[in-house]
Structure 1
């Protein structure tokens, strides 16, 4: 397989999509577009779906990109252009534990998530809590990744069932783009 130039990282909330997208961007020299930055305005105001779709379409028209998620109103856009889907298909306990740990850290540190937005106790204990979203979305995300993997018309899908399996793949992944002399190529 030649090195992918358009990668969709997919998984349930808390699986590590953004962390992986950032690592892949550095390793492969591809631009990463954090989906949360495109979907949320300050004050956790959701960007209208039509505008989300327009933003994603503009990114996906480019030759090189990494996206760390794909949502209902525009999931078809990156799937139609991706060279590779990397699916984080971890067990529920693993992704939920990661989400819980990340949420607690963000509450303590006040870390900004996107566009000035931060976790708060109110958001964590609300009906719209990301923890609640995880519980509802886990099965759907898993079924979706597995369906993509078995669909011959979909881009190639690599599913990782554990962080250790993902780390092993990343360890073996050569930097790209590389030249015949082994040095990294520059530019686009």
Structure 2
């Protein structure tokens, strides 16, 4: 396995699984949040983000973690495997609150160092509405763009654990 795309709601476990896959397959891990967000949660402009993403996706080996559905096609056309963490909303919200406590006044390892962990109403609404807002478009994109790509959909912590246990010995 050389190119793995990990997608899902905020709090679904994308970064944790990506780190595990990176270690397992000995692949570089690219956290899109780390590259999209500049200091103090300032978003990078779309053109430079897209160019950066094209460069990442053109590499021979990677695990790329992040949704950014506007740019999903860039990754999808190169990915050998897509893992979609289609987790319950309650679990994602729990994890978002948990990481807010863990990283209070700090930046997460998968985030730009100049972005301290924060939690606001707009982000909570984003997570709350993810399944209704983003899920149908994700399903459509995966149907359209994944003829050459293995798609794995994991819907619970138990399924993620079973998937990890099933990984081939490298």
TM-score > 0.5 by shorter chain: yes
| Residue 15 of structure 2, aligned match among 15, 18, 29 | 18
The correspondence of residues 65-76 of structure 1 with structure 2, limited to 5 A, is 65-76=62-73
Question: Paired residue for 1:157?
Answer: 151
For residues 88 and 97 of structure 1, do their structure 2 counterparts lie closer, same or farther at Cα, with a shift above 3 Å needed? same
SS in 2 for 1:8: strand
Q: Any stretches of 5+ residues in structure 2 without a counterpart?
A: none
Structure 2 Cα separation of the partners of residues 48 and 150 of structure 1:
28
Q: Which position in structure 2 is the counterpart of 1:104?
A: 101
Question: Which entry has the higher C-alpha Rg, 1 or 2?
Answer: 1
Deviation string for 1:23-56 (max 9, x for gaps)? 1000111110111111011111110011111011
- Number of aligned residue pairs: give it: 166
Determine the structure 1 residue equivalent to 2:39. 42
Q: Does 1:134 align with 2:132?
A: no
1:117-150 deviation per Cα after TM superposition (whole angstroms, max 9, x unaligned) = 1124xxx23x53x222212323233324433554
SS in 2 for 1:111: coil
Q: Extract structure 1 runs of 4+ deviating beyond 6 A.
A: none
- With the length of structure 1 as denominator, give the TM-score of the two structures: 0.80
Report which of the two has the higher share of helix.
Answer: 2
> By how many angstroms is 1:174 displaced?
1.6
Distance 1:75 1:48, change over 3 A: same
Establish whether residue 54 from structure 1 lines up as the match of residue 51 from structure 2: yes
For 1:21 and 1:155, the matched residues in 2 are separated by 17
Note if contact 2:80-2:148 (Cα within 8 Å) is conserved in structure 1.
no
- Say whether the 8 Å CA contact 1:87–1:158 is kept in structure 2: yes
TM-score by length of 2: 0.88
The DSSP-based 3-state class of the residue aligned with 1:81 is coil
SS in 2 for 1:74: helix
Whole-angstrom distance in 1 between the partners of 2:33 and 2:161: 24
CA deviations over 1:63-121 (Å, ceiling 9, x no partner): 111111131432210011100100101111122212222222222xx23132321124x
1:115 aligns with one of 113, 117, 138: 113
What is the RMSD of the two structures over their aligned residues, measured on CA atoms?
A: 1.9
Partner of 1:167: 161
Which runs of 5 or more residues in structure 1 are unaligned?
177-188
